[in-house]
Amino acid sequence: MPLDYDQTLFGDEHEIFRRSVRHFFETQAEPFCEEWDAAHSIPRAFWRKAGEAGILGIGVPESLGGPGGDFMHRIVIAQEMGYSIAGASIGPAFQRDQMCEQLMDFGSDEQKQRYLPRMVKGECLMAFTVTEPDSGSDLSQIRTTALRDGDHWVINGAKTYISGIADADTFMVACKTDPEAGARGISVIFVDRDTPGLNIGRTLKKMGCHASNNGELFFDNVRVPAKNLFGPENGGFKVLALSLNRDRLMWSIISHAAATRAFDLTLAFVKNRKGFGQTIFDFQNTQFKLAEMYAELMVGQAFIDRALQTYLRKGEVDMMEATVAKLWLPEMEGRVIDQCVQLHGGAGYMDEYPISRLYTAARLHRIFAGTTEIMRLQIGRSLR
């Protein structure tokens, strides 16, 4: 089953772009992912090639060195990365490219000039740093502070679980600039890697997505110029919330695409593998399981198409649809890929079969970019 999206939502230029993105992941990422997973890193050359292929910084205009393009080009990348087995290795590190979009929305002219021309070439990699040892889902509880001292911000605190930390050149850091004001006291500040007082901690060992490394950051009286404030002072929650809606939709689409790939791999596997004098596909149990998965994938795609129609009509991602998508699609992906592993038998547990990597990556999709429980919480509150 190929990705069976509503093609009327995309123009010819998106479909041409899709072919080049698919080719890029197939030739420049998939063959190397095992090596990158083992090294817990993605070589800089990959990012430069992605920049040359025009798939970094969608939406950044040519005047800033970008490829231009619109939100639907970004959707194409999410679909193709999710469908590629490479997504299971590089996904979280690759998605940080969405920071170009945030910069276009909230960056000052000077910040756009400083970062975007290098980001679109893969020469400046960013990391998005919100989560702390004592706060994740509850953003209002972050403790990292940035206090004003003349023309500088002085930052103290710690961050953890940060994706792509090993090669990040610049960190987009959520801080409390008014520590007493809860969510209304948060601002986002750029900190470059070589700033004195910024210390990179351990690379954390984890279950999957190994190439997309994760780690800790410590801020010990880190001084950055006042102009590094990104978006309004104490308006960081708004900066983060806007990108969060888009991010939820993107990760829902990635989850669906990865589940589709898992289904395709499994269908091929069961038609080939034999037992008890027939193929595994020939067992009615297998066909029932495949039928359930097929139905879940089709229903999921219909909801994604609806959310994209809404986007095209309103010019923005609908918050409730993005939340429903992020609640349901990664959970659906989990159900589907779990069955796919089962139908692979022992092979499903072996890393040399891509289904194993898709399984561990899928587990992440229910946790980050907002956990399933936070999606339930927000939908529940809206029903009051």
Ligand X SMILES: Cc1cc2nc3c(=O)[nH]c(=O)nc-3n(C[C@H](O)[C@H](O)[C@H](O)COP(=O)(O)OP(=O)(O)OC[C@H]3O[C@@H](n4cnc5c(N)ncnc54)[C@H](O)[C@@H]3O)c2cc1C
Buried b (16+ CB within 10 A) or exposed e, 157-194: bbbbbbbbbbebebbbbbbbbeeeeebebbbbbbbbee
Question: Which residues are CB-contacts of 284 (< 8 A; sequence separation ≥ 6)?
Answer: none
Residues 173-212 that bind ligand X (CB under 6 A): 206, 209
**Whole-angstrom Cα distance, residue 17 to residue 23?**
10
Q: Please tell me whether residue 106 binds ligand X under the rule CB under 6 A.
A: no
- Residue 67 has which token pair? 């490829």
Q: Please tell me whether residue 364 binds ligand X under the rule CB under 6 A.
A: yes
Q: Please tell me whether residue 219 binds ligand X under the rule CB under 6 A.
A: no
3-class secondary structure, 255 = helix
Residue 125's closest CA among 182, 219, 192, 187?
192
Q: Please tell me whether residue 92 binds ligand X under the rule CB under 6 A.
A: yes
The nearest distance, CB 131 to ligand X, in angstroms, is: 3
Q: Please tell me whether residue 342 binds ligand X under the rule CB under 6 A.
A: no
The nearest distance, CB 117 to ligand X, in angstroms, is: 23
Q: Please tell me whether residue 368 binds ligand X under the rule CB under 6 A.
A: yes
Residues in the interface with ligand X (CB under 6 A) total: 20
Q: Please tell me whether residue 373 binds ligand X under the rule CB under 6 A.
A: yes
The nearest distance, CB 375 to ligand X, in angstroms, is: 9
**Whole-angstrom Cα distance, residue 81 to residue 25?**
7
Angle between helices 98-106 and 109-119 (to 10 degrees): 160
Q: Please tell me whether residue 214 binds ligand X under the rule CB under 6 A.
A: yes
Q: Please tell me whether residue 130 binds ligand X under the rule CB under 6 A.
A: yes
Among 156, 203, 371, 378, the residue binding ligand X under the rule CB under 6 A is 371
Q: Please tell me whether residue 136 binds ligand X under the rule CB under 6 A.
A: yes
Q: How many residues does the chain have?
A: 384
Q: Please tell me whether residue 218 binds ligand X under the rule CB under 6 A.
A: no
Among 20, 27, 137, 221, the residue binding ligand X under the rule CB under 6 A is 137
- First CA to last CA distance, the chain: 40
- Binding span for ligand X by CB under 6 A among 83-91, 127-135, 177-185, 267-275: 127-135
Among 162, 198, 317, 358, the residue binding ligand X under the rule CB under 6 A is 162
**Whole-angstrom Cα distance, residue 78 to residue 94?**
10
Q: What is the largest CA-CA distance in the chain?
A: 79
Q: Please tell me whether residue 161 binds ligand X under the rule CB under 6 A.
A: yes
Q: Please tell me whether residue 266 binds ligand X under the rule CB under 6 A.
A: no
Q: Please tell me whether residue 128 binds ligand X under the rule CB under 6 A.
A: yes
Phi, psi of 224 (to 5 degrees): -130, 150
* Residue 167 contacts residue 41 (beta carbons within 8 Å): yes
Q: Please tell me whether residue 360 binds ligand X under the rule CB under 6 A.
A: no
Q: Please tell me whether residue 158 binds ligand X under the rule CB under 6 A.
A: no
- Residues lying near ligand X in the complex (CB under 6 A) are found at 92, 128-131, 136-137, 161-163, 206, 209, 214, 364, 367-368, 371, 373-374, 377
